[in-house]
Amino acid sequence: MVRSRDAIVVVGMGRSGTSALARVLTLCGGALPFPLLPSNFANPTGFWEPERAVDLNNAFLDAQGSSFFDAGLTLQTEPVTGPDRVRFVEQIVAFLTPALASRRPVVLKEPRISALLPYWIEALTACGVRPSFVHIVRNPAGVAASLAARDRLSLQHALALWLKYNLIGERDTRGAPRVFVSYEELMTGWEAVVARCVAELDIGLEVRADMRASVAAFLSPDLDHNRSAAIDARAVDPALVAWVSVAHVLLQQPCGPEFRTSLLDQVLRDFANWSRANAPPVDLAAIREHWEALERQHA
C-alpha cells in the first residue's frame, strides 16, 4: 500500500539525467508538485521540477552570494544558521505542505537541492515526511559537454561542479534510505532501476503495462546526448581530474557497509581546500545572455 508521507528526492548534478529519472519515477506512480518549470531548448521533454523550488533555492543562494554555478563549498562547509536558515526552512515547508497532500509518494527534483540538502531534509522532517534519495551519476565528460553547450562553461568549471554536487549529495544523505544509479542504467534498464528503488527504499511505486508504454515513449535514445564525450586532461588541473575519476568510480559502488565513504571524505576535503583558491568565477550575466541567444535560435 502506498504511504501518504513519503518523498523521493532526486540527487545529483544537473545534466546527469535528473529530469529523466524524475519523469520515470512519476510515470511509475510518483506525484509532482505543481506548477512545473516549463520545457525549453535545454530540456525539450521537460525538467519535471517545481517552479517554486527553483525560485526558493535561487533566492536563498543569491542572498548568500552563491548560485547553481558556484563551484565553491562555503555554504556546504559553513552552513547558514539563525534567522536566514529558519526563514528558508519555513518557506520550504509552506511549499511542501500542499504537495504532500497527495496519496502518492512525492518526487522532488531540482538540482540545487543537492547542494542544500540539510535545509530540505529539515523541512521534510518538520512536515512529518520520510525522505528517501535516488542519487543518479553520469559520466563527468558527458555532463561537462552538456554544460559547455548550454552555459559555455569551461571544462574545469564543469568538472568542479560535477564533483561538488555529487560529493555533497553523497555526504548529506548518509544514514538515510538511498539508492545510487547511473544514467546509463536508467537509459538501458529503467525497470530494474525502479525495481531496486522499490525494494531498497520501500516506496510505493510500481511498473504496469501501461506505464511501460509511457516510459518507453519518453526515454528516447535522443535524450542520450554527448555519450561519446571525453575529458581533455590538458585543459584541467590534474588534481581535479584525479578527484573526479576517483569519485566517479566510488559513486558507482554498491551503497552498503563497504561503501568507501572515507575515501570520498578525503576527496571532499582536498577539493574543498582546492576550491578556496581555484573555484572558477561565475558570470551570470554572460550565461543568461547565452541562454537568451539559444532561446531565440530554437524559437
Q: Tell me the pLDDT of the chain (299 aa) as tens digits.
A: 344 478 999 999 999 999 999 999 999 999 999 999 999 998 999 999 999 999 999 999 999 999 999 999 999 999 999 999 999 999 999 999 999 988 899 999 999 999 999 999 999 999 999 899 999 999 999 999 999 999 999 999 999 999 999 999 999 999 999 999 999 999 999 999 999 999 999 999 999 999 999 999 999 876 666 565 788 888 899 999 999 999 999 998 866 656 688 999 999 999 999 999 999 999 999 999 999 999 999 88
Whole-angstrom distance between the N-terminal and C-terminal Cα of the chain?
A: 45
- Sole residue written with cell 575529458: 231
Domain boundaries, the chain: 6-298
pLDDT at 228: 59
From the list 121, 122, 123, 128, the residue with the least C-alpha distance to 177 is 121
DSSP string, 20-76: HHHHHHHHTT-B--SSBPPP-SS-TT----BHHHHHHHHHHHHHTT--TT----HHH
Interatomic CA distance for residues 87 and 60, integer angstroms: 10
pTM: 0.95
Which DSSP symbol is given to 112? G
Q: Which one of 3.40.50.300, 3.40.630.10, 3.10.20.30, 3.30.1360.10 gives the CATH number of domain 6-298?
A: 3.40.50.300
pLDDT at 24: 98
C-alpha cell recorded at residue 247: 569519485
Which H/E stretch holds residue 7? strand 6-11
